[in-house]
Chains A and B, each alone.
Chain A
Amino acid sequence: MEGLPHDDSVSMPSVPKLDENSPLRTMMASFDEAAELLGLGQQEYLVLRKPDREISIAVPVRLDDGSFRVFDGYRVQHNMGLGPFLGPVRLAADLELEELRALAAWMTWKCAVLGLPFGGAAGGIAVDRNQLSRGELERVVRRWTASLLGDIGGDRDVLAPEFANEQDIMAWALDTVSMHERSTANPAVTGKPEALGGSAGYSDAVAEGLRVILRLAAARQGYDPANLSVLIQGAGTVGGNLARILHAEGHRVVGLSDVHAALYAPDGLDVPELLAHRAASGHLPRSFAGARAVDPAEFLELPCQVLAPCAVANAITGRNAERIQAGLVLEGAHGPTTPAADTVLARRGIPVIPDILVNGGNVIVSYFEWVQNRTGFKWLEEVVDQRLRRMLREAWEAVLEVEQTHGCSLRMAANVLALKRVADADRVRGIYA
């Protein structure tokens, strides 16, 4: 139309193109090797290297002072061959589409390894929640949800929390979907409060999953599965809960650390006392009776049977991998071992139980929550635990089978298994239209 000026300043925010250095590309690099091992055709594999769909939305919100701001919101849906999408909602000031692409693909592989009928998704809002009032945060979450109503739902794309303590956010999302649909839409959102259809066992799910795989892996290693010495980095929802569960079972938690302190006791720490201290003060004590305070930089290198990095990415690197004294590494955190460290640990014969297999307990319980919501029947905590154990054992056995077939690392075996399951589903479904 004549007279409409072309003005770049009011155009939509630009969507970054996929480039070779993006987090998605880096993550997928390890799957290129898996695809080669599988002999997956170039065309089949290329489909999996791109997300099915990416949605960018503007999220305008009225602030308490009467002004309004527009936040950037996203949802990336990676692959739906195995079923509806499932993935977290991430709230972070520096959130970028790139990282969500990688996370969405990661969710596809994780669901596939664990045998869940879901594809992967990831979404979020670029917002610093500490600068918002609770009311403002609620409006942000509701508007983001409302903008995605055509794309989410129990059979389309299921929302999950990034952290177990985000029940209020999930409750707002569920309420928004339900009010729009004029019916209770429980299966559309997981990680909800139990009063709104949440599942028993959700808050401990990651730690519980770690414990289950640890038992299987320790038995395979020839350790006495009833008396292990375990060094845990991280004392929060994952590491702290794992320490509590293992201590209660009679294992020795020989080391525990957080950003504030690192403690070591070869005969085992008094975990309940330590966690009580942390609950009261917000961090572990710098000194503690019967334990030795150690340099956090050397913490991972202390003697133990099992090392469980449950805090940050890239904890075990090419620099410290040679000095690790553990016989087994259990990846409670996301990506705690760098590829260089992987190589060193493999050469030294120290098995690494990969994150994709071992830290998805929360994803499994999200799945259980979805099942319970679909049937309208709530499972007892024992039932949740029993079924969680069964699914993890089946995933573990399937990964071991691939490991033996291909003679590769457990991480590569898990990647191969994931890729194969997704590619098989895509193949039988074929290409629509």
Chain B
Amino acid sequence: MSNGSAGEDAHHSPDGTPPSKAWLDEINPFLSMEKGFNTAADLLQIQGGVRDVLRMPDRELTVNVPVLMRDGSVRVFTGYRVQHNTLRGPAKGGIRFAPDVNLQEVRALAAWMTWKCSVVNVPFGGGKGGVICDVREMNTLELERLTRAYTVAILDILGPDRDVPAPDMNTNEQTMAWIMDTYSMHARRTTTAVVTGKPLNIGGSKGRSEATGRGVTISANEALKMAGLRPEDSRVVVQGAGNVGGLGALLMHREGYRVVSISDMYGFLYNPKGLDMPAVRAHQRAHGNRLEGFAGGDYQGTQEGARVEQLELECEVLVPAAAGEQITSRNAEQIRARVIVEGANGPTTGIASDILDARGIIVVPDILANAGGVTVSYFEWVQDRMGYFWTEEIVNSRLEQVMVQSFAAVRATAEKYGVSLRTGAYILAIDRVASVYRMRGFSA
């Protein structure tokens, strides 16, 4: 569920002049999120104290943990865990390791998780964590010690019924295994459900690594029905060829879509007759994960503006699944898709959203489109709690059920209020949290 950092090129004007305040605000994903929240809260007429309850994080924890480094020195790392809201259940959200982690960002991402969990109706609140560190400079032992030290430092607020972390930027299955082991040894009992995204052999779920891509595909199917289109008649352009974009493109290919373009960070492939996605994936595996050199399509390397050009290709479905802030006020008018499915977190800025809405382009918002990942995280938590593990077919069919139902609920809300799917998703999410708040009241 890594929130792709904004592409480098997005931060600078094409002509190299310093970015304006208006532009910086536009590409600030947290302001976009706030905008979504405010629009929805206004429509729901949630004001005053209740609005603050929903906006402000329940709890923010900052920890400074000493770690013994390989040269014998001790370094102190700063980490955070923010629990935005736990009205609907334990906090849920990733832990990221990156040099630019800061409390402001973690706070916003935690709130994002509250809304995402609420949209797909899994019984979690939102949380997020991070540690300021540069994983490229650390070896495996240092990373293990850092992970364990951070886990111990936040141990009191973790737990299957309190707060359940997951992988995020620069953290993976191995990191989750260390967290599970550290928590279990402290508790003196096996506690697999304290964290999700674990390896299969210690309580992970089948189908989890493909879950986000699968959710994107299901969202595309549902959006096509709204647009009155069929997969067979739909050309797809996918930005990103990793876990979300690459797998999403493969699944869409299998369902009959014509994937005409896919990109990675070096360039993009284009074939108006459709790319043979299984062959593209095989090519990637054989060539260091890169698309370049694939014979079944034209390849164009990323030069100035190449990424933008790909997004402006004529297609029925556009899937930005790589990074944030890709569709902005600068290119929203040139987008030639009927449907946009947001595989990445925050690929469309607030201003671009308004432009797309005005142009009648259907946008399936990130908090719905890429929620397949958190949904299967939820399934992992359920399986860990009972200790019984589902087959991949069961995981996939339950994921499909959740995504289809969530899409229908978002669509119904959007139609009821006469707003976009994005605003509809925020209204649905906030209303669900607010109604729990009204039922539960204050505990003391």
List residues of A whose CB falls within 8 A of some B CB. Answer: 80-84, 117, 153, 155-156, 367, 370-371, 374-375, 421, 424-425, 428-430, 432-433
Residue among A80, A367, A370, A430 with the highest chain B CB neighbour number at 10 A: A430
**A424 with B201: in contact, given A84-B190, A432-B148 (CB under 8 Å)?**
yes
Q: Collect the chain A residues with CB atoms within 8 Å of residue B406's CB.
A: none
Do the beta carbons of A421 and B148 come within 8 Å of each other? Answer: no
Nearest first, the 9 A-B pairs at minimum CB distance are A155-B189, A429-B181, A428-B177, A432-B185, A371-B388, A375-B386, A84-B190, A425-B201, A156-B189
Q: Are B177 and A370 in contact (CB under 8 A)?
A: no
| Separation of A251 and B177 alpha carbons in the complex (Å) | 48
Residues of A within 8 A of B182 (CB): 432
What are 15 A-B residue pairs whose CB atoms fall within 8 Å in the complex? A82-B202, A83-B387, A84-B189, A117-B387, A153-B189, A155-B190, A156-B190, A374-B385, A374-B387, A425-B202, A429-B180, A429-B181, A429-B202, A430-B181, A432-B181
Instruction: Give 19 new A-B contacts, CB below 8 A, not counting A82-B201, A117-B203, A375-B388.
Output: A83-B387, A84-B189, A84-B190, A117-B192, A117-B389, A155-B191, A367-B387, A371-B386, A374-B385, A374-B386, A425-B201, A425-B202, A428-B177, A428-B199, A429-B180, A429-B202, A430-B144, A432-B181, A432-B185
Interface residues of B (CB under 8 A from A): 144, 148, 173-174, 177-178, 180-182, 185, 188-192, 199, 201-203, 385-389
CB–CB B188/A156 < 8 A: yes
Q: Are A428 and B174 interface neighbours, CB within 8 A?
A: yes
- CB closest residue in chain A, given B388: A371
A425 to B199, CA, bound (A): 9
B174 / chain A contacts, CB cutoff of 8 Å: 428
Enumerate chain B residues within 8 angstroms of A370, measured Cβ to Cβ. Answer: 387
A392 to B316, CA, bound (A): 47
Q: Whole-angstrom distance from the CB of A394 to the nearest CB of chain B?
A: 10
Q: In the complex, A374→B389 CA distance in Å?
A: 13
Distance in Å from the Cβ of A260 to the closest Cβ of chain B? 42
Kindly name the residue among B148, B182, B201 whose own CB sees the greatest number of chain A CB atoms within 10 A.
B201
Instruction: Please determine whether B148 and A83 come into contact, CB atoms closer than 8 angstroms.
Output: no
Could you tell me the dominant secondary structure of chain B's interface residues? helix
Instruction: Write out the residue numbers on chain A whose beta carbons fall within 8 Å of the beta carbon of B386.
Output: 371, 374-375
- With a cutoff of 8 Å between Cβ atoms, the chain A residues found around residue B177 in the complex are 428-430
Measured between beta carbons, the chain B residues less than 8 angstroms from A81 are: 202
Measured CB to CB, the closest approach of chain B to A201, in angstroms, equals 15
User: Which residue of chain B is the closest to A429 with respect to CB atoms?
Assistant: B181
Report which of B173, B185, B385 forms a contact with A433, defined as CB distance below 8 A: B185
Residues of B within 8 A of A425 (CB): 201-202
**Are A428 and B201 closer than 8 Å at their CB atoms?**
yes
Residue ID in chain A nearest B389 by CB atoms: A117
Residue contact B201 to A421, C-beta cutoff 8 Å: yes
Query: In the complex, what's the smallest C-beta–C-beta distance from A138 to chain B, in angstroms?
Result: 27
Chain A residue nearest in CB terms to B174: A428
**CB proximity of A360 to chain B, nearest CB, Å:** 17
Contacts of B388 in A (CB 8 A): 371, 375
Which residue of chain B is the closest to A368 with respect to CB atoms? Answer: B388
Chain B contacts of A156 at CB under 8 A? 188-190
Nearest-Cβ distance from residue B274 to partner chain A, whole angstroms: 36
Cα A371 to Cα B203 with chains together (Å): 14
User: Nearest Cβ in chain A — how far from B382, in angstroms?
Assistant: 10
What is the chain B residue whose CB lies nearest that of A84? B190
Bound CA span A375–B386, Å: 6
A residues near B201, Cβ cutoff 8 Å: 82, 421, 424-425, 428
Chain A residues whose CB sits within 8 angstroms of the CB of B189 once the complex forms = 84, 153, 155-156
Chain A: CB-nearest residue to B384: A117
CB nearest neighbor in A for B182: A432
Q: Are B173 and A428 in contact (CB under 8 A)?
A: yes
**Shortest Cβ gap from B363 to chain A (Å):** 39
Closest to A116 in B: B387
**Chain B contacts for A374, CB-based, 8 A:** 385-387
Docked Cα-Cα span, A370 to B386, in Å, equals 9
Report how far A156 CA is from B187 CA in the complex, Å: 10
Task: Kindly report which residue of chain B lies nearest to residue A432, judged by CB atoms.
Answer: B185
Determine the distance from Cα of A107 to Cα of B190 in the docked complex, in whole angstroms. 17
A224 to B388, CA, bound (A): 34
Distance (whole angstroms) from the CB of A377 to the closest CB of chain B: 9
A130, chain B: closest CB distance, angstroms: 36
Q: Which residue of A lies closest to B382 (CB)?
A: A375
Report the bound CA distance from A212 to B148 in whole Å.
43
Looking across the interface, which residue of chain B has its beta carbon closest to that of A151?
B188
B residues in contact with A117, CB < 8 Å? 192, 202-203, 387, 389
Judge whether A83 and B178 touch: CB under 8 Å: no
Complex Cα distance, B148 from A158, in Å, reads 27
From A371, A421, A432, give the contact of B387 (CB < 8 A). A371
Q: With A and B bound together, what is the CA distance between A153 and B174 in angstroms?
A: 27
Minimal beta-carbon separation of B164 from chain A (angstroms): 16
**What CA separation (Å) do A358 and B388 show in the bound complex?**
21
The CA-CA distance from A379 to B218 in the complex, in Å, is 32
Residue in A80, A84, A367, A429 whose CB lies within 8 Å of B178: A429
CB distance from A384 to the nearest CB of B (A): 12
Q: Which of chain B's residues have a CB closer than 8 A to the CB of A153?
A: 189
Chain A residues in 8 Å Cβ range of B173: 428
- Give A421 to B200 CA distance when docked, in angstroms: 11
Give the shortest distance, in Å, between A418 (CB) and chain B (any CB): 12
B412 to chain A, nearest CB (A): 32
Least distance between B387 CB and chain A CB atoms (Å): 5
CA gap between A367 and B389 in the complex, in Å: 12
A429 to B190, CA, bound (A): 12
Instruction: Report B-chain residues with C-beta under 8 Å of the C-beta of A80.
Output: 190
Alpha-carbon separation in the docked complex, A375 to B388 (Å): 10
Q: How far is the CA of A80 from the CA of B203 in the complex (A)?
A: 13
Contacts of B180 on A, CB cut-off 8 Å?
429
With a CB–CB cut-off of 8 A, which chain A residues contact B148?
Answer: 432-433
